[in-house]
Structure 1
Amino acid sequence: MSRPQEPHRPFLPFGNPFRMLSPKGSYLSPKLLALLNTFEETLAGRIKKLQPAGREDVLRLSWMRCAMDSLCEIHTDVKTLITALELPVCDWDDKWIDVYLDNSVKLLDICIAFSSETSRLKQGHLFLQCVSHNLSDASPKQFVRARSSLDGWRQHTASKNPRLDNCFCAMDGLAQKLDLPKIKNSAKGKILMRAMYGVKVVTLLVCSIFAAAFSGSAKKLMDLQVPETCLWAEAFADLQTFVNTEIRSLYSSGRVTVLKELEAVDTGVKKLYPLVQDGADSVEAEALIDLTSGLGKSAENLSQGLDLLAKEVDRFFQIVLTGRDALLSNLRAGGGGQLNDK
């Protein structure tokens, strides 16, 4: 039975970060505006690359890997911008530092949760390997073992990962503080905060999509409004609308999972289970071979996809961590340096 359509998460309230670029206050030189425009145009290009070619491409592990790779690039871009602004940490306002440190610790928590979930799903691969091994010998005893392994896979994938709760809390914390601190008398600070706003919004969207995929629910999807004055606003809106609409449609149709590779394994398990349950006497050897082979291929695709995604999540974790460590090191040393990886 299909579940009722889950309500859309309301648009999240936030202050207008673009008032800081009004004529009042610090003058923005052509050089600073050029730096900002370059950053935002690059951000728009990275978002456009994430637009799925079609509905079937939404939440493939390959797409999720590309999304995490894009976050790595975007967070590297903002470090490059900080260097180009020639804005040493000693000139940072305490509010900017608080924003950066608060955001980074939440992102690290989110990465830990995602890493935990990819590892948990990867562990389920052992059950599927046992199925293939046991069905290589179509004896009654081996059928019992294969059925036990299939049951183990079902129970494993149906279980919940408590670390995802930490991820949800971190995402909510990021969403509640999308508004930026008011910047006075610092043109470079205004550019920095506007760039960080863009990074934060795109990161939050990707994390909410991952959370929806891993949690088995569309409740954690976020619909974020972005002022049209952003050069990346249109690309962001197109991506958010397309992906969120498809995920909500999948869940409303009764799907247990929206991860394409995981769904392929589940389909293979459902087809194979009745044959294993009925016993060796009623199973046609050719059908058993075909279904077992198909499940093995789907399981391998899932395992390889999770491995590659886990590497990207770890890379993003390291980028966030090194940026945070660099800022803290500069603060301890008196704040004379730039926010660069060491």
Structure 2
Amino acid sequence: MSRPQTPPRQFFPFGNPFRMISPKGSNLPSKLAAILNAFERSLAERLRKLHPSSKDDVLSLSWMKLAMELLCETHSDIKTLIKELDLPVPDWNEKWIDVYLDISVKLLDVCNAISSELSHLNQSNLMLRCVTHNLDSAESKRLARARASLGQWKQNISSSNSRVKNCCAILDSLGESLDLPKVKNSAKGKVLMLALYGVKVQTVFMCSVFASAFLGSPKLFDLKIADTYSWGQTFSSLQNDVNNEIRSTYSHGKFTPLKELEAIDQCVANLHKIIPENPEVEEVKPLENAVSELRGKAEKLSEDLHLLTNEVDSFFQIVLAGRDALLSSLRGS
């Protein structure tokens, strides 16, 4: 987590490459149209599930866990769709293969960056648990160490993560290639590209939200999706509400939009005020309630980080399995 030291770098410094992209190939054979419609209905339903019921849902770790869980489901769906299309890999256009492989390797890098920051948050949280242990004693030396550690925690949690910064460049690249190759003379190919477009939109948006949560500054997309997509309006509404809440958080000077981390930061600030700089000579106010609150929030954060990390690992494995399956088919052919 880092505070922006320089003006935040905007995505796409040379202009927004996104345009209103309309689905093509509406005259698909009924079987292929049914496959595509089923995929897009599932995508729309997942986007609806993510729509926050209140601003407090953005960004909570439970909401982020759900977002990653639903992203896993969408990527699993694309594997199922490829099987249903019965489009053998040797029949794939070379551009389609390049697109799939390019997306997958970049997503693996994004997963590694997210996992790196989750590990950083967990290590910082362990520091707080040591602090609460020291605060169980009224011994002046332990109180002084605890007070110093609270200050170190804030510095640690605000430190820059270069892997997450690099993740932004990857997301830029994914966003710039959102418009997938045009398909001629292949109805199955059109279905594949339209489905991959939906996958990319959901993936790029959700990963940009994660990057914004971890970087300490908004690094968000504003994707323009044609209403002719059955999931277009649902996505646009979700994107608008989530992005607005994140931007509002940072505009008010908060160092993170993560609800659980913000709550812990308030507990840390409160304890830092209560513990005097020199507890040997100054009276120490009762700490029991404040320490108990911090301990409870730190334990809950640890549980939530563990669950989210598991979902990110699952996403990594799904992307890796799809990539390996494609490469294996190419070698076999």
TM-score normalised according to structure 2 size: 0.93
Do structure 1's residue 47 and structure 2's residue 47 form an aligned pair? yes
| Cα deviation 1:230-269 (Å, max 9, x = unaligned) | 1100110110000001111111011111100111110000
The count of aligned residue pairs is 324
Aligned to 2:211: 211
Alignment of 1:1-342 (within 5 A): 12-14=16-18, 18=22, 20-21=24-25, 28-218=28-218, 220-278=219-277, 279=279, 281-285=282-286, 288-334=287-333
CA contact (8 A) 2:125 2:298 kept: yes
Pairwise CA distance, 1:52: 0.7
Pairwise CA distance, 1:132: 1.0
Aligned to 1:338: none
* Structure 2, unaligned runs of 5 or more: 1-6
Matched residues in 2 for 1:15 and 1:266: separation? Answer: 40
CA contact (8 A) 1:6 1:252 kept: no
TM-score normalised according to structure 1 size: 0.91
CA contact (8 A) 1:125 1:299 kept: yes
Matched residues in 1 for 2:233 and 2:104: separation? Answer: 26
Pairwise CA distance, 1:301: 1.4
| Cα deviation 1:175-215 (Å, max 9, x = unaligned) | 11011111111000000000000000011010111111000
* Structure 1, unaligned runs of 5 or more: 335-342
Pairwise CA distance, 1:276: 1.7
Q: SS state of the match for residue 302, structure 1?
A: helix
Matched residues in 2 for 1:157 and 1:8: separation? Answer: 23
1:125 to 1:19, Cα distance in 2 relative to 1, 3 A: closer
CA contact (8 A) 2:18 2:223 kept: no
What is the root-mean-square deviation in Å for CA atoms of aligned residues?
1.9
CA contact (8 A) 2:64 2:308 kept: yes
| Cα deviation 1:23-50 (Å, max 9, x = unaligned) | 6xxxx21111111111111110011000
Matched residues in 2 for 1:319 and 1:9: separation? Answer: 27
Matched residues in 2 for 1:16 and 1:236: separation? Answer: 14
Aligned to 2:3: none
CA contact (8 A) 2:50 2:67 kept: yes
1:16 to 1:146, Cα distance in 2 relative to 1, 3 A: closer
CA contact (8 A) 2:208 2:221 kept: yes
CA contact (8 A) 2:19 2:224 kept: no
**Partner amino acid, structure 2, of 1:42:** S
Pairwise CA distance, 1:157: 0.5
